[in-house]
A and B are shown apart, each in its own frame.
Chain A
Amino acid sequence: MKRGLDGPAPEERPTPAGRRNKQGIRIDPEVEATHDPRRTVISALVKHEPGVLSDVSGLFSRRQFNIESLTVGPTEDEERARITVVVEEPDPGIDQIKKQLRKLVPVISVRELEPDAMRRELALVKVAADRPDQVAAVADMYGGKTVDSCPETATIEITGTRQKIEAAVETFSQFGIREISRTGLTALARSTDETAAQSPAVGTEEMNRQDKHPHTQTADDD
């Protein structure tokens, strides 16, 4: 007995010529539709309650979004905390991160920051203090501050953009770096522009518009 159903075999059927890329976008032969990853900063205003950070980090890990850095801290409102996440993803992935974050019930608002936002990181660098004068000179060069010193080591605090800190670390390496601790990046939007939309409706409306590429610029520095 024959097993299966009747009908024209696969090779006898018409097949459309079109295709979609891996991101589910129809491929326009005129335009390369695949997006390259870019680095960006997402700021989320959340309820300041236990478990929020685990909600957010758990979301990122189970959806396989790659976190470059994540910082969290209180805000002017004691019931709210701000989470700043740096991610590197293609545009559809960044869009999806924002939407998935917004779905978490304790999350109040989510926004991708403009490339001109202020972004800062803090690092503590502990170096060997064999040449204290030179260490102090380098620290000075990067606007760093010596926060601890002993005959063997000096610990310098540096605040700035990721690039600045990386440059400082590289320069300090000539003295022999003992330990480094970095905070990860925190950020605020410039001037009167609010970092996180206070009105929830704004977030949804932004999703509705679905600007395809609101920030084509990569947020590497300011």
Chain B
Amino acid sequence: MSERAAKVTPAETDEQDDDQITDSAAPDAVTEPDADAASESTTEPVTNGAQSVVRALENAGVEYAFGVQGGAIMPVYDALYDSEIYHVTMAHEQAAAHAADAYGIVSGEPGICLATSGPGATNLVTGIADADMDSDPLVALTGQVPTAFVGNDAFQETDTTGVTKPVTKDNTFASDPDRVGSDVSEAFALAREGRPGPTLVDLPKDVTKSETDREPDEPKTPDTYHVQERANAEIVAAAAERLENATRPVMLLGGGVIKGEASEACREFAIEHEIPVITTMPGIGAFPEDHELSMEMAGMHGTGYANMAITHCDTMLAIGTRFDDRLTGGIETFAPDAEIIHVDIDPAEISKNIHADYPLIGDAETVVEQLSTAVETSPEAKKWRAQCQQWKSDYSMAYDAPEDEPVQPEFVVEALDEATADDTIVTTGVGQHQMWACQYWTYTEPRTWVSSHGLGTMGYGLPAAIGARLAADDDQDVVCIDGDGSFLMTLQELSVAVRENLDITVAVLNNEYIGMVRQWQDAFFGGRHAASDYNWMPEFDKLAEAFGAAGFRIDDYDDVAETIEEALAYDGPSVIDVHIDPDANVYPMVPSGGDNGQFALTEDQL
């Protein structure tokens, strides 16, 4: 693949052997505990803080970093210049954070983003907040003005640790050149371990420029950070008994199932005990949607059958979900008859929004295995399963696609799904297109759904596709399903996809509206389309060509299959401007704070 070729840098060619000889020739001089790990690659001793920062990334096995160069971060870039880590220069820092975030979702290892001080750092904030809401592993490294200037409102100074405190798992102001590499190692470990999340290290320019020979410590979380792996055995036993006696059980799988690598354990558990499975939006891919037990996604735009099942169940085994309001609707009507068994690695998620009758704090995979051992007989739920299947046919996700109408978005999503392999990675922006991508694509594998859930960041799709492409296997397709409004927010990143020759297919479902807002305006604001009518959109296919990508356009049904095939076949970034029915809306829909069981199937029911 072309992008693999692109990461071969000229840095590591000649001197490598000499370096290793140097290293092994002076073992006595090496007093750092990580000397072994460091000696695997280029191992010139570090001479300044910036090199220690880069060494910390190398020790952690980092392959890619996404960022934008700038004044205060220059020493770090100077050190990266000699590293095997491949730096992807993005067009905007927000995109660097999204690309790193998506890299983290697909690979499971923290994505790395870099920015300079001031505007560079503040531009990262949206991406960091996005990662925080979705518990994605991410490490942000920001330049800072020299420590002597900090607090004086110096050029390009922002209190970055202050600004990012509420949206990071932890952040650090690096003040010591001897410690700075270890600060980065620690940030890496914290981003990955326990409940993943974004961490940030703020790097004053004098600290990274200062001389030091200190090698960074190995990635290790601070001694105040503790993660409980196994749930309390008594509660496990009680929860198992509750499951055994359930007559209307469901499993609700959240994003934590995928992050905790528990998909396989959950699948086995559900199939063995024949429990219908619902996912949250971040949980998409945790259970194969083509399986009989799958009820797919619940919540505001979840399937009708998932919402019926979630409303009528008597026992819910919820794993790795924080019960977001887009999932629960109104708290009063959420699974009102159900006793909740809640598995989460973060104790603070237990009984935060929905009271947990059986709190199981621990690693998702470990706790599911504990439960698996404890549950001896499957629940008697034949009637319930039949009811679930009935709901599947009552509220099927079918749509009309008459030949003479404008192209329906659902048809395009299904056509893309059909044209690609099961392990294809889908990234999206935020809006109607995102919901259609949830509803009409059949996901079967974890880490193939890459989207902005909690923060709902428009513009996420394209930079995420860049990060996902670099984390994906070479033979895996990456498709970005975007909306016109969403795509417009970060489309400058096409320049990056072209430069790196990344094989990404972007399908812009273009209705010349901020469609989700338009849908709400129609439903709740008397059809007054205040600032949601985007009939001034550029022609995205031509825009793509201007960037050097391949541009395609779909206007009617005859074009769909053929154009998708061409775009997928193009080796490099391609953009399909899909002109969809501008009046198409997303159903089912649970109005904000409503009752999940009372989802609307048409506008009249809102």
Contacts and interface: CB of A to CB of B under 8 A. Distances in A.
A26 B355 contact: yes
Contact of A209 (B232, B338, B339): B232
A209 B361 CA distance: 10
Interface in A177-222: 200-201, 204-205, 207-210
Nearest to B169: A105
B226 A204 contact: yes
B40 interface: no
Chain B contact residues, majority secondary structure: loop
B224 A107 contact: yes
Contacts of A29: none
Interface string B289-323: 00000000000000010001001100000000001
A200 B224 contact: yes
Interface stretch (A6-14, A81-89, A129-137): A6-14
A115 interface: no
A105 to B, nearest CB: 4
Contact of B598 (A10, A19, A21, A92): A10
Given A2-B400, A208-B232, A19 B224 contact: no
A200 to B, nearest CB: 5
Interface in A88-131: 92, 95-96, 99-100, 102-103, 105-108
A205 B234 CA distance: 12
Listed residue (A19, A207, A210) with the most chain B CB atoms within 10 angstroms of its CB: A210
Contacts of A31: none
A16 B316 CA distance: 15
B395 A16 contact: no
A207 B597 contact: no
A148 to B, nearest CB: 35
Interface string A26-69: 10000000000000000000010001001100100010000000
Size class of the contact patch on chain A: 35 or more
Contacts of B356: 210
Contact of B587 (A4, A13, A99, A103): A4
A62 B129 CA distance: 14
A5 B224 contact: no
A150 interface: no
B488 interface: no
A18 B332 CA distance: 9
A24 B331 contact: yes
Interface residues of B, number: 65
A18 B588 CA distance: 23
27 contacts: A1-B405, A2-B602, A5-B398, A5-B601, A6-B601, A7-B395, A10-B598, A10-B605, A14-B312, A15-B595, A16-B312, A16-B336, A16-B597, A20-B336, A21-B331, A21-B332, A22-B332, A24-B334, A51-B173, A99-B352, A103-B347, A107-B224, A204-B347, A207-B350, A207-B359, A208-B231, A208-B232
Interface of B: 161-162, 165-166, 169-170, 173, 190, 222, 224-226, 228, 231-232, 235, 304, 308, 311-312, 323, 331-334, 336-339, 346-348, 350-356, 359, 361, 394-400, 402, 405, 583-585, 587-588, 595, 597-605
Interface of A: 1-10, 13-26, 47, 51, 54-55, 58, 62, 92, 95-96, 99-100, 102-103, 105-108, 200-201, 204-205, 207-210
